[in-house]
Structure 1
């Protein structure tokens, strides 16, 4: 039943978007004036599928702070009150372009998501806490058998941050882009030729339960691969899948020091981690303990949360995101100086985040948001511009 789902409220946990939102509050009036209230978003349907496409712009208005949706003209509409059990949300769908066609809509200043679905409209409901978004790790979610995906974006007075994301799942392929003030464009998110099917094939061939992440419809259509955290939540991936690596990390730093330099532009800011029992203590240069971490489990690692929580502060959060990236990329045993930002060193241990490894390996530019802090070292699939002229969302071929 939908009412059993946890509401997933916006804004989202996209680090770059959060940074953009924070910058907006400090932006001078001249910078605010440079970014209009809405910008065009060009949708291109290169999917090769003959099914109708439905598009949704959903998020939190950075003008009013309300949750809601935008129509094709970029006009923001606040959601009405929700209920318990959740009540149907207004139909926020925008007809997308047919196969081989393009369509331009406008997107307003908000922090949220641009959903798209094939063949069927998505089901959104409203609870008293806000919008209930699709959570297909729950087999009773009404969107479970719909082929869909989403991009994340923030448009504010400081510009546009737009990314492709696989933090929750890998599904219908797409790429994002932005046209800059000088007329040039940048894009990211395209897969290699054959990359879409290659991701599913690799996960199915990977020992250790990773095949369980792949979800199919009753007619045999492959719909998506769940992220490892959602796979564990649904029982598709064993809870102990990372225990061997986590145990080895804890053993290593009981007798060695892990040095974390969390800010690339502040090389003198360093923290030093040592394990004592079940706890890793981090000290500063004066030897004072600044934060501690309990030995994490796989769920904490995959989600970069719980025992690896990363608050928006100047110490624990930056250390935690560095640890999270090191665990997911399995660099902590081979490099005692973190973050290790060289992609050549990532995912080399047999016990690693094979979901992230596989997705990055099939991206045309190697960049993806396969876990929450995949932006450590700038390996994320993100485009940004302070004076965006146009945004792009391209629905790519499945074959």
Structure 2
């Protein structure tokens, strides 16, 4: 589920024969385009509660989430550093290459949000070629060397080996059989972790794809041929990277965020969980 909150006026939700129409601020004609709002996501089932802050679609009004355990302790995540809200927008505004165009403001000058780069490409605010240089270097590297993916931390012997041939990266298993292949991705596929980097809920292609997606967004594929690279010290070091995600993580009090769909690779996501939750919290933080 999701919990939405807004400032100044209520959000406008519509119903169609297909169900609920949720706000889509990448669409300039969305009725919620000029409302300051945000949301949190959660799953509640027999195994407990998972609740997270998210910037997968946009960075906007600051908040944190928490869950109380039976012993009374509370786990929390999502708080920004002091000055982090303004710091993020100031940093994004100074990033060359079109990244400043992700910022949306209201006619009165109020900053509303920064679109995620995938939505920015869709809206024409960020060049579709913004990741091409890095993609080309990755494709060149692994046409003459091997990318090793070990997608499950608890299964170190399950490995897949990627080599590029033309426009295709083929992955083989330890027996040498091709198990899945990826066409050379574009920036939108990378930022959205979909399309040419689709990740089905299976035990082979999906886990490899999420690893590739994290490696592209964090720009670790050239510095480490063994993926996933889960060391934050190696993230976003290339000049061509997901600067939106880089700048969000830099402003988080605990360094954790959901800045792209598979930011949970290596447990860098802003998520808290308890198997027997007593209470859950959404804390609306100050903007300063």
TM range (shorter): over 0.9
TM-score by length of 2: 1.00
Alignment counterpart, residue 234 of structure 1, candidates 123, 128, 133: 123
Once the two structures are TM-superposed, the CA of residue 155 in structure 1 deviates from its matched residue by 0.8
CA deviations 1:268-295 (Å, max 9, x no partner) are 0000000000000000000000000000
Which of 346, 357, 361 matches 2:250? 361
Q: Shift of the alpha carbon at 1:151?
A: 0.2
Cross-structure match for 1:308 = 197
Q: Work out which of the residue numbers 330, 339, 352 in structure 1 matches 2:219.
A: 330
Q: Aligned equivalents of 2:46 and 2:12: distance in 1? A: 31
Pairing 1:73-92 to 2, within 5 Å after superposition: none
Partner deviation per Cα, 1:315-351 (whole Å, 9 max, x = no partner): 0000000000000000000000000000000000000
Does the alignment pair 1:156 with 2:45? yes
TM-score, normalised by the number of residues in structure 1:
0.72
Corresponding residue SS for 2:100: helix
Shift of residue 126, structure 1, vs aligned partner: 1.0
| 2:170 is equivalent to residue 281 of structure 1 | yes
Whole-Å separation in 2 of the counterparts to 1:185 and 1:137:
35
- Whose Rg is larger? 1
Deviation, 1:129, is 1.3
Structure 2: gaps (5+ residues): none
C-alpha distance in structure 2 between counterparts of 1:306 and 1:204, whole Å: 29
Give the 3-state SS of the residue equivalent to 2:24 in structure 1. coil
- Could you list the structure 1 runs, at least 4 aligned residues long, displaced by more than 2 angstroms after superposition: none
Choose from 55, 58, 64 the match for 1:169: 58
After TM superposition, list the pairs within 5 Å mapping 1:1-399 onto structure 2: 112-399=1-288
Match of 1:104 in 2: none
Whole-angstrom distance in 1 between the partners of 2:133 and 2:68: 45
What SS does the aligned partner of 2:190 have?
A: helix
Shift of 1:127: 1.3
Q: In angstroms, what is the RMSD of aligned CA positions? A: 0.4
For 1:374 and 1:142, the matched residues in 2 are separated by: 29
